[in-house]
């Protein structure tokens, strides 16, 4: 009866708003503790206000890294069903992308009569036209195609990466502001005869961490220069998000627009020494997990539990929801909210949470899964109040290790219950190891990433752009070369530990020698 009442009230609203506009605002590596409404030290007044006006999604989970999250968002599938298990590297390093045969979010909305637009980061395939956003349901596309760009020079991996509708675009400006400007322009000039589906994907606060001087000066009281620039970057991001929301309000669209804000993964906080060698730019990030364990690339809470808000004025507002909500839930939920019908052939791993959000009734997760596979295969499975965390090296033939948490009572993952709850552990292990793994990107080749990855390219050549396609594919090194390069990476990553171990061995040898001399 309660659900019928909710459905009736929602149906009345749909009569007034036949098809709501949908604006998704996605940030890049913004941590749980990077927003001030979670106690972070960086002021984020506009995001804070959004969380007050809308519904704070207190249990929103992304995948641990960017491309997998974006693919799950757009397909409604988990990583092994869409196959994007790790971030894509630059197109000279690899030529793959999100499978073109998968139907994605803008295609559903376009078929339903929506104007569809992307402003910002794509990161789901650059090398081939079949991967491009305007061939995947977006009528217009603006921003960058790869993972992390310079905020001022708009370059990635040694080449210009800035485009409009996949044609190279050269313009000045700070990328966070430019992405917001495009979004605001689309809102102000939206097709009056069609609702708008707008995907705003900021690159902030992804590395390389940069910010305008006027923002950096606001944080001169911080001792660490990197802390100053990171805080400035996040504060500038918050300002641009505020401008987008104000534009929606100024156009009189708030009551007919669903706004969804979230981060694609946790922040760069606890960085692997190997990652520091392969991608040295990562050390410039100064993200905050708010005390949650782990960080970006980890399936611990710090890498996957992210700040998130949904707001539809008059429908979903002024609330805080503890409903578990996973990134693959977004597509089926928004399709229901927008009254867009699907066919029997449309299969999603994500669950439609729309009535749960409307009613406030919390439905526990049932085998909800997020994860990634880079240097480590990291997985998290949620079932009721239980979270099973699994991790194993990708290139070393060893078994996975497991930790089991009551994630409701233990959000900081302090108490491993694998010994206390063997039946729950065994059941969840069976599920988490049973997935058929579709893989479109393959395992990360450390040597290849070290030589040709996004942090290893040279300077920008005049007129050189990824979208021009005038580059040669860098094939992975031979097996023998890969082994030696990987060993060199390990030496650089653990040089201090190796030096300490060598010194320890020398001291033991010297002590043993002295002991023998004294006994003679």
Q: What domains sit in the chain, N to C, each tagged with a CATH number? A: 2-7+19-359 (3.40.720.10), 368-432 (3.30.1120.10)
Q: Which stretches within 251-370 are classed as H helix? A: 273-278, 301-304, 330-337, 354-359
CA–CA dist 94, 126 (Å, integer): 10
Tell me the pLDDT band of 7, cut-offs 50, 70 and 90: low
Per DSSP bridges, beta strands 21-27 and 196-201 are parallel
Return the higher-pLDDT residue of 3 and 376: 376
Element (H, E) at 386: strand 386-393
pLDDT at 28 over 70: yes
Positive or negative, the CA dihedral 276, 127, 92, 233 is negative
pTM of the entire predicted model: 0.94
* pLDDT for the residue 516: 79
pLDDT above 70 coverage of the chain, percent: 95
Closest CA relative to residue 44, chosen from 188, 193, 241: 241
Separation of first and last alpha carbons in the chain: 94
Closest CA relative to residue 362, chosen from 324, 318, 316: 324
The count of residues in the chain is 520
What Cα–Cα distance (Å) separates residue 240 from each residue in 75, 262, 506? 27, 15, 57
Task: Of 166-180, 248-262, 390-404, 437-451, give the lowest mean pLDDT range.
Answer: 437-451
* pLDDT for the residue 501: 87
Tell me the pLDDT band of 457, cut-offs 50, 70 and 90: low
As given in the structure block, the two tokens for residue 56 are 């704070």
Q: Give residue-wise pLDDT tens across range 89-135.
A: 999 999 999 999 999 999 999 999 999 999 999 999 999 999 999 99
Estimate the crossing angle of helix 495-519 against helix 479-493, to 10 degrees: 80
* pLDDT for the residue 456: 62
Closest CA relative to residue 141, chosen from 162, 160, 164: 164
Q: Per-residue DSSP letters for 231-275?
A: HHHHHHHHHHHHHHHHHHHHTT-GGGEEEEEEESS--S-S--HHH
Three-class SS of residue 308? strand
Over residues 353-362, the mean pLDDT reads 96
Over residues 78-98, the mean pLDDT reads 95
Q: Which residues contact 482 (CB under 8 A, 6 or more apart)?
A: 445, 446, 447, 448, 476
Neighbours of 343 (CB within 10 A): 7
Peptide bond into 441 cis (omega under 30): no
Per DSSP bridges, beta strands 55-61 and 319-326 are parallel
Spatial contact of 402 and 422, defined as CB atoms under 8 Å apart:
no
486 burial type by CB count under 10 A (0-12 exposed, 13-18 middle, 19+ buried): middle
Spatial contact of 292 and 306, defined as CB atoms under 8 Å apart:
no
* pLDDT for the residue 461: 55
CA–CA dist 400, 371 (Å, integer): 14
Three-class SS of residue 344? coil
CA–CA dist 409, 397 (Å, integer): 34
* pLDDT for the residue 463: 63
* pLDDT for the residue 10: 52
Quote the mean pLDDT of the chain. 92
């Amino acid at each position: 009866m309660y659900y019928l009442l909710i459905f009736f009230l929602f149906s009345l609203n749909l009569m007034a708003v036949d098809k709501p506009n949908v604006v998704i605002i996605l940030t890049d590596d913004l941590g749980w503790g990077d927003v001030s409404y979670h106690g972070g030290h960086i002021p984020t007044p506009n995001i804070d206000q959004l969380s007050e006006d809308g519904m704070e999604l207190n249990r929103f989970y992304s995948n641990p890294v960017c491309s997998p999250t974006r693919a799950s968002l757009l397909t409604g599938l988990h990583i092994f069903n869409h196959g994007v298990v790790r971030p894509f590297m630059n197109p000279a390093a690899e030529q793959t992308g999100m499978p073109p045969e998968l139907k994605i979010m803008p295609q559903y909305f376009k078929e339903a009569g929506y104007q569809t637009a992307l402003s910002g980061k794509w990161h789901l395939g650059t090398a081939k036209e079949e991967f491009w956003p305007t061939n995947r349901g977006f009528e217009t596309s603006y921003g960058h195609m790869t993972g992390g760009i310079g905020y001022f020079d708009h370059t990635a991996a040694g080449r210009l990466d800035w485009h409009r509708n996949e044609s190279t675009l050269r313009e000045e400006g700070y990328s966070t502001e430019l992405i917001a400007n495009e979004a605001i322009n689309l809102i102000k000039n939206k097709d009056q005869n069609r609702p708008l589906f707008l995907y705003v994907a900021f690159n902030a606060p992804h590395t390389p961490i940069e910010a305008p001087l006027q923002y950096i000066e606001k944080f001169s009281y911080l001792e660490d220069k990197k802390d100053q620039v990171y805080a400035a970057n996040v504060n500038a991001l918050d300002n641009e998000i505020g401008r987008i929301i104000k534009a929606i309000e100024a156009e009189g669209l708030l009551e007919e627009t669903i706004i969804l804000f979230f981060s694609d993964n946790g922040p760069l906080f606890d960085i692997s020494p190997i990652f520091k060698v392969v991608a040295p730019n990562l050390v410039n990030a100064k993200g905050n997990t708010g005390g949650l364990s782990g960080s970006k690339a980890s399936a611990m809470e710090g890498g996957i539990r992210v700040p998130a808000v949904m707001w539809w004025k008059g429908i979903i507002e002024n609330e805080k929801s503890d409903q578990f909500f996973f990134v693959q839930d977004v597509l089926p939920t928004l399709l229901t909210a927008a009254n867009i019908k699907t066919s029997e052939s449309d299969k999603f791993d994500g669950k439609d949470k729309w009535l749960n959000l409307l009613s406030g009734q919390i439905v526990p997760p049932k085998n909800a899964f997020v994860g990634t596979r880079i240097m480590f295969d990291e997985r998290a499975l949620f079932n009721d109040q239980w979270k099973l965390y699994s991790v194993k090296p990708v290139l070393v033939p060893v078994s996975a290790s497991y930790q089991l948490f009551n994630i409701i009572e233990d959000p900081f993952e302090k108490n491993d219950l694998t010994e206390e709850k063997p039946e729950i552990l065994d059941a969840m292990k069976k599920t988490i190891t049973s997935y058929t793994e579709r893989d479109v990107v393959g395992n990360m080749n450390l040597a290849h990433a070290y030589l040709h990855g996004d942090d290893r390219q040279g300077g920008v050549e005049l007129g050189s752009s990824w979208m021009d396609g005038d580059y040669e594919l860098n094939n992975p090194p031979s097996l023998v070369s890969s082994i030696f390069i990987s060993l060199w990476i390990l030496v650089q990553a653990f040089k201090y530990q190796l030096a300490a171990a060598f010194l320890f061995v020398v001291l033991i040898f010297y002590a043993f020698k002295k002991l023998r001399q004294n006994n003679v």
